[in-house]
Amino acid sequence: MSRDPRIDAYIDKAGEFAKPILRHIRELVHATVPGAGEAVKWGMPHFTHNGKNIAGMAAFKAHCAVMVHGDGRQAESDGMGSYGKLNSLKDLPDDSELAAKLIEARDRIDTAGTAVRRPAKPKPKVELPIPQDFEAALRDNPDARAAFEGFPPSQRREYIEWVSDAKQDATRAKRLATSIEWLAEGKRRNWKYER
């Protein structure tokens, strides 16, 4: 089993929360797909079979991502990868589930002999209606309303989903207040992660 020193360096530079996740994925890939190759593609560690990608992983400031090629995302809001935003080892699926997906990816390569085809791009999303409490808060703050209306649909959707997905009233109220504050400053929902 050949190890790429660039992946060692990538893991060493990752945040402390990310290192156990990245190491675990790496070991699981090699245990599941003996002879898997390692490479750095698009700036992220990837694992290959017969020169084709079977899986990749990435570390960000606050989460990790694991991609099994050909597996797709859980949902658009889950961020990059097949398993959502991972903050610890407990966020990973069972090793047996992940191993099965890795074997499927390997087998697709063996049977197809070509790169895995990506699923067709989803149709554009319909713009979400603005919840009444959100609409009222925007009415009360002209700067926030102007920023919100100036954003493209995808960025408006991020705010609407963030507020609407809150499970408790207190959480919803806090997210709504934060949204109005950020919007009044002209900030996008994920402004903290922009460079």
Task: Please report, for the domain that includes residue 85, its CATH number.
Answer: 3.90.1150
Once rounded to an integer, what is the mean pLDDT over residues 172-190?
A: 93
* 119 lies in some domain: no
Q: Do 12 and 107 share a structural domain?
A: yes
**Facing residues of 58 across strands?**
65
Beta bridge partners of 86: 64
**Residues 68 and 36 placed together within one structural domain of the fold:** yes
Structure tokens given for 181: 């504050």
pTM: 0.55
**Residue 123 pLDDT level (bands cut at 50, 70, 90):** confident
- The residue segments making up the domain with residue 99 are 5-112
Residue 150 token pair: 């100036």
Q: What is the DSSP letter of 152?
A: -
pLDDT(194) > 80: no
If asked whether residues 11 and 80 sit together in one domain, one would say: yes
Is 68 found in the same domain as 152? no
Label residue 111 by pLDDT band (50, 70, 90).
confident
25 and 105 inside one domain: yes
Radius of gyration of the chain measured on its C-alpha atoms = 20
Give 111 or 31, the one with higher predicted confidence.
31
Other residues' Cβ atoms within 10 Å of the Cβ of residue 177: 12
Q: Helix (H, G, I), strand (E, B), or coil: what is residue 45?
A: strand
